[in-house]
Chain A
Amino acid sequence: MNAPIVRALGWRSGWGPGLGALPEDARRAAAGRPVVSLGRPALDEERFRRATRDCLWAVAAVGAMLEDAGARREAIAGARTALIYVTAAAYGPSNRAFIERPGAVYFPYTAPAAAPAEVAIEYGLTGPLTIFIGGGVSTLRAIWHAAGLLAGATCDRVLVLAVEIFDECADLYARVRSGEDPLVEAAGCAWLERGTGTLALEEGVATAGRDDVRRRVGETFSCEPLAALGLRRSVVAGAGPIAVSARWGGEEVTLIWGGPTSGVGAGMREGSE
């Protein structure tokens, strides 16, 4: 499979805008907080009056990606842009609200499909759409799937978008989590285009520097691989291979960008975040 290049990457997290806001040690920076919240982005309140936070951050992450690319929204509008949305649990708060407080959420916003729908409406995306549910492993499979779409010329670019929202369910996570890493709300979006390097996906392997990323970011479920891509931008220009790993639900996966012209980071502006 040909490796896609990452033309741009937008990142927002509870630590602040961009990967530059990440602490060196998420546990220490969280100072005992179980959830590091993103709050609400500043988006048109009337236009998004029914939208839930996961939808808002999905839209904001794509906006951050456009900023990173230095591109206008017209650059991604239309049928030649595919969107792959990934989340492990961003639908949790809306599901909970609908169960506990009838009328608190408009029912269609309980669906994971609501977030990519708002993105598609906002940016005029009318191309292929896929939604994967799961953690970082699903994000790596989404990138692999994106590479297939690009290789098959089904589209010219793929946006791999991941969002995780935790705050409204913090008490529920406290019941089931034993890890010390804080849950960090995050939204990331990678703009992928056709590249010339090689891409390999290895099952049952998850060793590629994952702990370093986790140490800085905290627990972000599906967003972690996008943070890993972004953090490696400074070391990938012309270098390779680059590997990103994830574990989720008993699966371990590593995605490896290789070949003479690794595309990871090509087009990504150093330090722009």
Chain B
Amino acid sequence: MTAVPGREPTVVVAAGVCTAVAQDVDSFWSALVTGADGISPIERFPVSDLRVGRGGEIKTLTRIDDWTGIPDCRATRLLVSAADDLCGQVGGRPLPVDPRRVAVVVGTALGGVEEGERALSGDRSGKRLRGALYDAPARNLARWLGVRGPVLTVATACAAGGTAIGVGADLLRHGQADAVIAGGYDILCRFVMRGFDVLRALTRDRVRPFDRRRSGLLLGEGAALVMLRRRAEAGPRVLGHVLGYATISDGSHVSAPHPEGRGLEHAIHVALGEAGIGPDRIDFVSAHGTATALNDPIESGVLMRVLGARASAVPVNSIKPVIGHTMGAAATLEAIMCLLASRHGLIPPTLNLDDPDPTFGIDCVRGAPRVARPRISLSTCLGFGGCNGALVLEGAPP
């Protein structure tokens, strides 16, 4: 295990997911390595007026039979579903920690915005309107978990799921909690589909990160959570460690990353610095990999600079073709994937990457899972507002 002196790594004890391809961690892993495709026509709300009406939509929430007492808010329900998966790995609810010492830190790009849509389109209940606040789903999750520690909502756009893990680790480090449920979520709704439609960022083709034929992203919905503990309190069975993180502003543009990726590069170096390791220790990179015209060349350029001569030898993947870009959930799902790759000794392929763009010079895993057991993983994430995130993770031995 690695970390700068005096900075003990944070332990990832358990994880839970809710995505278009799986609603538990084991099935999520199977879907990633078997090439499952979670992209489908969106059915839950009208999309016929949009250029693109497909995404990583979750058709049915299967984990919870009885939603009594849980708000009729999709974002909350995705979070609760992921939390149910997580709780199953640590003995169920209530969590085995003093509830006053359990914090909830979740990232989101959209919060409860669909509740706002509903409130503005006829549902005049005050409850619906209050649910439109971006911190409402996190509070609902804390209530469902029965925990009474700090509740934080982090909104660094599509980097939020990574920032939340970092902020959660900081809460442990500074003694504000003894356990943290950290992660991210976002749902597909008219609001976000219209928004990305206006931006012409969505593809009518498949999502093809780092491919010569890449033509844009598709959105997805999901929630992902991890349980973080300090090492001394973590117990023997763990998923891995958070060694370092950073979320950096690039001060460049409201919706586009810095043209040379300086913010992302800085974030990676800060996260590596917190981890106390150099780029030569990176065994695997989970890329943001959205398959947009802007993202992929910028991100590959950053990886080339950070990894140097090793750039063509360090495996890189993107799981967004499988589940869509799940926004606030993306970085947490990708962090979980990194830890599972270490556990299983396999790196999931980048679905739909058939014709790698030769200008990128990075080693994208494609076609089939690659047999490799990465110890140190770097996971990158970017979001609107010049948010650039990086997580450095260490998988636990199987």
Q: Does A233 contact B (CB under 8 A)?
A: no
Q: Does A237 contact B (CB under 8 A)?
A: no
Q: Does A96 contact B (CB under 8 A)?
A: yes
B386 to chain A, nearest CB (A): 5
Q: Is B129 touching A172 in the complex (CB atoms < 8 A)?
A: yes
For A249, what are the chain B residues with a Cβ–Cβ distance below 8 Å? 135, 139, 151
Q: Does B387 contact A (CB under 8 A)?
A: yes
Q: Does A168 contact B (CB under 8 A)?
A: no
Q: Does B194 contact A (CB under 8 A)?
A: yes
For A130, what are the chain B residues with a Cβ–Cβ distance below 8 Å? 154, 156, 163, 167, 247
For B108, what are the chain A residues with a Cβ–Cβ distance below 8 Å? 133
For A138, what are the chain B residues with a Cβ–Cβ distance below 8 Å? 135, 152-153
Q: Does A57 contact B (CB under 8 A)?
A: no
Interface locus among A38-46, A59-67, A119-127? A119-127
Q: Is B134 touching A133 in the complex (CB atoms < 8 A)?
A: yes
Q: Is A121 touching B155 in the complex (CB atoms < 8 A)?
A: no
Q: Is B248 touching A98 in the complex (CB atoms < 8 A)?
A: no
For A92, what are the chain B residues with a Cβ–Cβ distance below 8 Å? 116, 132
For A111, what are the chain B residues with a Cβ–Cβ distance below 8 Å? 109, 155, 157, 384-385
Q: Is A201 touching B176 in the complex (CB atoms < 8 A)?
A: yes
For B117, what are the chain A residues with a Cβ–Cβ distance below 8 Å? 99
Q: Is A132 touching B153 in the complex (CB atoms < 8 A)?
A: yes
Q: Is B383 touching A121 in the complex (CB atoms < 8 A)?
A: no
CA distance A51 to B182 in the complex (A): 31
CA distance A130 to B14 in the complex (A): 25
Q: Does B170 contact A (CB under 8 A)?
A: yes
Q: Is A120 touching B250 in the complex (CB atoms < 8 A)?
A: yes
Q: Does B5 contact A (CB under 8 A)?
A: no
Q: Does B133 contact A (CB under 8 A)?
A: yes
Q: Does A267 contact B (CB under 8 A)?
A: no
CA distance A91 to B116 in the complex (A): 12
Interface locus among A140-148, A179-187, A189-197, A239-247? A140-148
For A82, the closest partner residue in chain B by CB is: B249
Scoring A residues 101 to 145 as 1 if CB is less than 8 Å from chain B, else 0, what string do you get? 010000111111110111011011111111111100010010011
For A99, what are the chain B residues with a Cβ–Cβ distance below 8 Å? 116-117, 120, 191
For A149, the closest partner residue in chain B by CB is: B170
For A107, what are the chain B residues with a Cβ–Cβ distance below 8 Å? 194-196, 198-199, 255
Interface locus among B79-87, B214-222, B262-270, B317-325? B262-270
Q: Is A117 touching B247 in the complex (CB atoms < 8 A)?
A: no
Q: Does A176 contact B (CB under 8 A)?
A: yes
Taking beta carbons and an 8 Å cutoff, which residues of B are in contact with A?
100, 108-109, 111, 113, 116-117, 119-120, 124, 126, 129-130, 132-135, 139, 149-157, 160, 163, 167, 170, 173-174, 176, 191, 194-196, 198-199, 246-255, 262-263, 266, 270, 383-387
Q: Beyond the given A113-B156, A120-B249, could you list 6 further A-B residue pairs with CB under 8 A, ordered by the A residue number?
A: A108-B255, A111-B385, A125-B251, A126-B266, A133-B154, A203-B100
Interface pairs (20), CB distance under 8 Å: A92-B116, A95-B191, A96-B120, A110-B195, A111-B384, A116-B385, A117-B249, A117-B251, A125-B249, A125-B251, A126-B249, A128-B249, A129-B156, A129-B386, A130-B156, A131-B154, A133-B153, A138-B153, A172-B129, A175-B129
